[in-house]
Amino acid sequence: MKATTQYTDFNGTAAADISDHTDLIKFLESRGIDTKRYDPIGAEFYHGYSDFFSASIICIDNKNSTADKPYITSISFEDVFDHNEFFDLFKRFKVIITKKHNGHQDKEIDEEITIDDRDTEE
């Protein structure tokens, strides 16, 4: 699985730690999903202009899977699944993206700096 957008000008990686107070199974069960059939293995989200946000839970559908091939299903919800509810599923969530064709995807950051732009001189 790879994340894509219309042009995918940037790509990268993501990492997350599961929340201390919930997990993907508890979340699905709270929405009435049969977690014996739909075994959650991940999540995805999409954010666009004008605060557009959508999210889903990625599951193995045990009913449609075979011994040779897991059947992967993305479950989204008609009612509001906002960014706060989504990110509360994780204790920490980090995404790093770089320009697609610049060859820096496998490099490491050498230094992190913070700029206090509140004190700019005029």
Each residue of 57-94: pLDDT tens digit?
A: 999 999 999 999 999 999 998 776 788 999 999 999 99
- DSSP run (H or E) holding 87: helix 83-87
Q: What burial class does residue 109 get, using C-beta atoms within 10 Å of its C-beta: 0-12 exposed, 13-18 middle, 19+ buried?
A: exposed
Predicted TM-score (pTM) of this structure? 0.84
Amino acid found at 22: T
Task: Name the residue ranges covered by the structural domains of the chain.
Answer: 17-99
Say what the pLDDT of residue 113 is. Answer: 87
Instruction: Give percent helix, percent strand, percent coil of the chain, each to the nearest 5.
Output: 10, 35, 50
